[in-house]
Chains A and B, each alone.
Chain A
Amino acid sequence: MAAAQWRKAMNSAAAASAARGRAATGSSMPVHRVPPAAPAPGEVPSAASDVWNELWRFVASRNLVVLLALVVFPLVASPFVTFQVGAQSLVLGMIALSLSFLAGYGGMISLAQMTVAGVAGYAVAVLGHSSSAEISLGWPWWVAVPVAVVIAVLASTLIGWLSVRTEGIYTIMITLAIGVAFYYLVLQNYSVFNGFQGLRELKPPTVLGIQWRDPVPFYALSLVCALAAYWLVCHVVRAPFGIALQGIRDNPRRMSALGYSVVAHRVAAYALSGLIAAVGGVLLAWYNALMSPGSVGTGWLINILVIAVLGGVRHPAGAFLGALVFVLLQTFAIDLIDRERFNLVIGGVFLAIVLFSPDGLLGLWARLAARLRSGRALTSNQRRQP
């Protein structure tokens, strides 16, 4: 490609992001029209019927087609594709979703999302059943799983509380430090985490006579959890709490002057993202059937960021799209090149996507669609509008 074309591509990307910046400023306008509800998260009781209306609209719109495809998918795909590609993408997508919620709507890039997922996974392993009988407490799953999720949410809240006073690159640094510290903790602690070997043979329970680790049931379980998480994020970002969070992302000082507690909102966002990551973490532990330090190592902390960026953090769907591409590459790149160099393909594709579309696959898709529809400037950002 000629240098001029490169420059042009970069310039147009810059122009697009500038346009998005303007659009984002515009989008913060509705903040003032929203009734000034309490800044705390959660719904006001009278809004309950609104929630159901919204749920209906959520299902009835374009999502129905995708939903149908996702439900039909395990019926046409082989068990391997269902389990390793389908379910793994959904599970990793959930963890990446927790990051894209924080990054896209809260403006906070946390590298510790895999750590939160790992806390949940390890908690399930320690509280429930594993191959290390002297470590695992053997609680029934319906106690172990909720407690594990609560522990992970607390951990996420703590991480948030530590890191929200920082901005930008310092948030990345502090969350990376927490993630690496947790990695070394599980690597070197033998009494609870069993060190390098970790805890093996983590099986989902057999409930209602269904083996939940079989490909189709596990896919269904992941799908239900992923849809719930997706809907939760879609809902929250339109709720007063989410709007306030986006306000804080765009201008914390102004929101503070309006009487919103910046720190409380950010910590609450961490707690919510922690919930999503925790459920993803429990599923990931069941998917791998083991928790070892490798699952929470630096590589995975960064992989989650890669997935989120690959898909695009502007919309919750990006996390799942990114996870799908990531898993497909991880699984099949070795077939494309069939030598010791397959990691080059993976890296090359990531580089190409990020280079040509700074806002990920969603941005690429939006620009492609805009070009196909001759000139209509549809950016992914506009999809976020109700």
Chain B
Amino acid sequence: MKVTTTKRIWVRSIVGAAAATALWGGAWAQQGQPVKIGLLATLEGPFAAGGADGMRGAELAVKQRGGVVAGRKIEVIKASSDAKPDVAVNSTRKLVEQDKVDIMVGPLSGGEGIAVKDYSKTQPQVTFINGGSGAQGTTLTNPSPNFFRFNTDGGQWMVGLGKAALAKGYKRTMVIAEDYAFPYSQVQGFMAEYCKAGGKVPVKAWVPLGGKDYSSVIATIPKDVDALLVVLGGADAVNFLTQYENAGGDKPMLGGSITVSQDVLNYKGKRRDSLVGTLSAGPLADAYDGADWKAFVADYQKTYPVSAGGFPSPSLFAYVYYVNMKAALDGLAAVNGDLSGNQAKYREALSKMTLKTPNGDVRLDGNRQAIGTTFVTEVVKDSQGNLFNKVHSKVDNVDQLLGMKAEEFKIGSRDVPACP
């Protein structure tokens, strides 16, 4: 009696499970005509605000083409991660293997980028285009033949900041940065120039990503440094700034590219005024007066007004996701929507094209890594009380090796470079 009952239950459960499997499988079968583009950003975790803005940037690029390229409809399928590499790979795998996307755009953060690049080698039929991640290793060590990055990396984003800091009289700087690949790149980009020109970095404090308590770091800031280089993103930057202010800190600050991005500048805390005067560097500047940039900002503001959750000016993540998605679509237009032959023509078009971005032309190097423009910026306050990045200087054609020779270039890490 018992056995038959339970057997019946098990049989029922298996029939149910089989039906469910069939449904899952069938619903996402490939359609044919439209081009499917997978879009991955961090909608959870420490970069949730940046990830949401990245999605806006990518969607803006699709919208500017009316959702159609060369007669083929663009279908965007979104996925989320939480800045952890294993989650990013799981989400990417779902987009690639289950939703069968043709082109993949993402992920957002450095560690994720390296993991997705590793994964891309196992999926040669799909073209991977970076989203926002800026670790050097992604395209510099063991590059993947089907992984493209149309944004410059974390090291390239910091070019020019070292000289600007010395010009302000900051001879000794302490580094406070998150402990993973992207900040390593940022610190290297800064120090390569700063140390060469005579600056000193006596202490580097590496803090965990997503940390809440910075009091122990704040306590170790030496008295004799002139400035702090703070490379923290999103919520971490806001937490650090608040705690440093509360602890009575008064050292001037140099910011990493995502420390003073729009999502940080728009944090609605009282203390944010302390950011005014902060020098930083990155691939964009809010107040840059190039015509293409102004048109891009106007389009962003029109599509995503502040009342609908947009930022007053597009953040770094919105910008780099926009650039990468635009590259994906421009490449598609260049080959007239032809993705045949394992996307060989498409990839060649991507490798050779000169991408028109709001901040000037971008080309790719042999590792499919962007060569582009970097801005050194200074935070200023406008008449309405909004904080903006004013252009301090502009450096064109920054390559991934920061102008060094291949043999003398070492990828940034905790201990490289050093000039105590």
Contacts and interface: CB of A to CB of B under 8 A. Distances in A.
Nearest to A284: B86
Interface residues of B, number: 42
Interface string B88-131: 01100110011000000000000100110010000000000000
Interface stretch (A164-172, A234-242, A337-345): A337-345
Given A62-B6, A373-B5, A81 B87 contact: no
B149 to A, nearest CB: 18
A87 to B, nearest CB: 12
Contacts of A61: 3
B340 interface: no
Given A81-B98, A196-B179, A369-B5, A65 B24 contact: no
A226 B18 CA distance: 20
B118 A201 contact: yes
Contact of A331 (B17, B18, B94, B414): B94
Contacts of B414: 190
Nearest to A297: B84
Tell me the dominant secondary structure on chain B's binding face.
helix
A213 to B, nearest CB: 9
Interface string A57-96: 0000110011001000100111111011000000000000
A321 to B, nearest CB: 9
A288 B86 CA distance: 6
A69 B19 CA distance: 12
Contacts of A65: 7, 10-11, 14
A77 B21 contact: yes
B17 A69 contact: yes
B87 to A, nearest CB: 7
A102 interface: no
Nearest to A73: B21
B85 A290 contact: yes
Interface residues of A, number: 44
Interface in B394-420: 414
Contact of A342 (B7, B80, B179, B180): B80
B336 interface: no
B85 A294 contact: yes
Contacts of A338: 78
Given A77-B25, A78-B98, A196-B208, A292 B3 contact: no
A53 interface: no
A197 interface: yes
A81 B21 CA distance: 9
Contact of B86 (A83, A290, A343, A376): A290
A149 B24 CA distance: 36
Contact of A81 (B24, B52, B178): B24
Contacts of A252: none
Contacts of A147: none
A256 interface: no
B84 A292 contact: yes
A188 interface: yes
Nearest to A188: B208
Contacts of B14: 65-66, 69
Interface in B7-42: 7, 9-11, 13-14, 17-18, 21, 24-25, 28
A289 interface: yes
A84 B93 CA distance: 8
Given A77-B21, A292-B111, A340-B43, A334 B7 contact: no
30 contacts: A65-B10, A65-B11, A66-B10, A69-B14, A69-B18, A76-B21, A78-B98, A79-B97, A80-B93, A80-B98, A81-B25, A84-B98, A187-B208, A188-B179, A195-B179, A195-B180, A196-B111, A196-B208, A197-B111, A197-B114, A198-B85, A200-B85, A200-B115, A288-B86, A290-B85, A292-B85, A294-B87, A331-B90, A334-B80, A373-B5
